[in-house]
Chains A and B, each alone.
Chain A
């Protein structure tokens, strides 16, 4: 079945560490997105990519980095510069050029600073 896989489901980060969240899709979608959700809050856009080897900053990109070397993969690195990384991270994908049909979301990664 086609879908988006995020891993790990839970992740713990020590102070000063960089951690990488994985996002893989087999839907042949062109665009991929990373959102952050804090308790009781909506989704805030971190980064997005519409084609391979290209990506744009979202509203809260500081302290995060991404790469898009393959169409299927869009990993997110939470760097030590991100001072408050504890949150629920959601990856999504969508088709391009056919009008917005909405996103398909992965199941999310819950990141906690210890």
Chain B
């Protein structure tokens, strides 16, 4: 079992709809969770971080964490063509060691 798993997609969503991206992780000791957006040929950029169970909202983005189910998701509301990118889920095991383990990413396409 991979440590961090994502559906590779591609995931196609109409413009203006909600895009839902999912990630599961294998290590119950994982403490911190991140979502990165990566445009083709570019480096990843951090868009959301979440540390506690529940929802965290930032603009059109909502991260959801369920540690009991070892599941973290990212919702993008009012999807725009500029949201078309690969979204990487990353997990950190312990505070004090910032090493991240990444999933393979989900490719999202917003259809105008």
Contact = CB atoms under 8 A, between A and B. Distances in A.
B95 A105 contact: no
A106 B105 CA distance: 19
Contact of B99 (A33, A44, A107): A33
A114 interface: no
Interface of B: 4, 6, 8, 31-32, 34, 36, 42-46, 49, 51, 88, 90, 92, 95-105
Contacts of B103: 42
Contacts of A41: 104-105
Interface stretch (A11-19, A60-68, A92-100): A92-100
A49 to B, nearest CB: 11
A31 B98 CA distance: 8
B112 to A, nearest CB: 24
Given A96-B98, A100-B98, A101-B49, A40 B43 contact: no
A43 B95 CA distance: 21
Contacts of A106: 43
A95 B96 CA distance: 10
B8 A43 contact: no
Interface in A64-111: 90, 94-97, 99-103, 105-108
Main secondary structure of the interface of B (DSSP, over half): strand
B22 to A, nearest CB: 15
A42 B34 contact: no
9 contacts: A42-B105, A48-B99, A96-B96, A99-B96, A101-B98, A103-B44, A105-B45, A106-B43, A108-B42
Contacts of A42: 4, 6, 88, 102-105
Nearest to B103: A42
The listed residue with most A CB atoms (<10 A of its CB), out of B44, B45, B46, B104, is B44
A43 B96 contact: no
Contacts of A97: 96
Given A40-B8, A105-B43, A106-B43, 13 more contacts: A40-B104, A42-B104, A43-B44, A45-B99, A45-B101, A48-B99, A96-B98, A99-B96, A100-B32, A100-B92, A101-B49, A103-B98, A108-B42
